[in-house]
Amino acid sequence: MNNIRKCDVIIGGIFALLTIVFLIMSSKNEVFFNWIFERHQNILSWYIRPLFLIPFAFFAYKRSWLGIFITIFCIFTSMFWFNKPEIINPQVKEFLEFEKEWLFSIWDYKKILLALTVPVSFSLLGLAFWKRSLWLGLSVVVLIASGKIVWSIYNASESGKQILIPAIIGLIFCILLIYYGFRRLENKK
């Protein structure tokens, strides 16, 4: 393994560990968790999160572990990148309260299996672009967005509908930009 590849894997592994540390800290520290969710009420974080699928796809295409794991780290931490909004949509607040409650309620095998769809879907997305399959990759992007929409509306009813516009806009941008970027990369070969 050459030095560049070795650095890519090592630093990528560091970001994978940082993501795990972030997830553990946020699940074990209630003050930190509440601070994150207060800032996540800023709807801007809802709009940018799906857009991280674009660099994720790019780095999978380029086979860069560093890029993949930095992107995953950014997806999780982007929840608190924006200030807490001064005015909060009551439906947004209700939906995030539902998500917080869901995360802290009892974890049975159904919830564990459902939570495993996140790493599985990212693995499938990464594999699709690692193998340079545009159509499989775009299919996974559509499944990720559809799954989030269906889960949100099914479980949180009216407040779950707040995810619709950010998810659909994010999906459209992801499809268009991934398609465009993939075609450009393929044409450069």
What integer is the mean pLDDT of 119-135? 96
Confidence of residue 126 (pLDDT cuts 50, 70, 90): very high
Cα 173 to the center of its chain, rounded Å: 15
- pLDDT-derived band of residue 108, with 50, 70 and 90 as boundaries? very high
Q: Give pLDDT, residue 134.
A: 96
Instruction: Say yes or no to pLDDT of 103 above 80.
Output: yes
pLDDT in tens, 67-91: 999 999 999 999 999 999 998 888 8
Question: Tens digit of pLDDT for each residue in 11-64?
Answer: 999 999 999 999 999 989 989 999 999 999 999 999 999 999 999 999 999 999
- Give the HSE-up count for residue 159: Cα atoms under 13 Å, Cβ half-sphere: 15
Using DSSP, state whether 48 is helix, strand or coil. helix
Share of the chain above pLDDT 90, in %: 76
Q: According to the model, what pLDDT value does residue 36 have? A: 93
Instruction: For residue 44, count CB atoms less than 10 angstroms from its CB and return exposed for 0-12, middle for 13-18, buried for 19 or more.
Output: middle
Q: Where are the alpha helices (DSSP H) in the chain?
A: 3-28, 30-39, 43-48, 53-61, 65-77, 90-104, 109-130, 134-160, 164-188
3 pLDDT more than 90: no
Sequence letter at residue 7: C
At 140-169, the pLDDT tens digits run 999 999 999 999 998 888 888 888 999 999
Higher pLDDT, 78 or 188: 78
| pTM for the full predicted model | 0.91
CA quadruple 45, 27, 14, 52: dihedral, nearest 10: -20
The model's confidence at residue 113, banded by pLDDT at 50, 70 and 90, is very high
Q: Label residue 2 by pLDDT band (50, 70, 90).
A: confident
- pLDDT above 70: residue 1: no
Domain count, the chain: 1
- Which residue segment(s) compose the domain that 74 sits in? 3-188
Tell me how far CA of residue 147 lies from CA of 70, 111, 117, 140, in angstroms: 24, 14, 9, 10
Among the listed residues 47, 37, 119, the one whose alpha carbon sits nearest the alpha carbon of residue 79: 37
The residues, ordered by sequence, that sit 6+ positions from 44 with a Cβ below 8 Å of its Cβ are 82
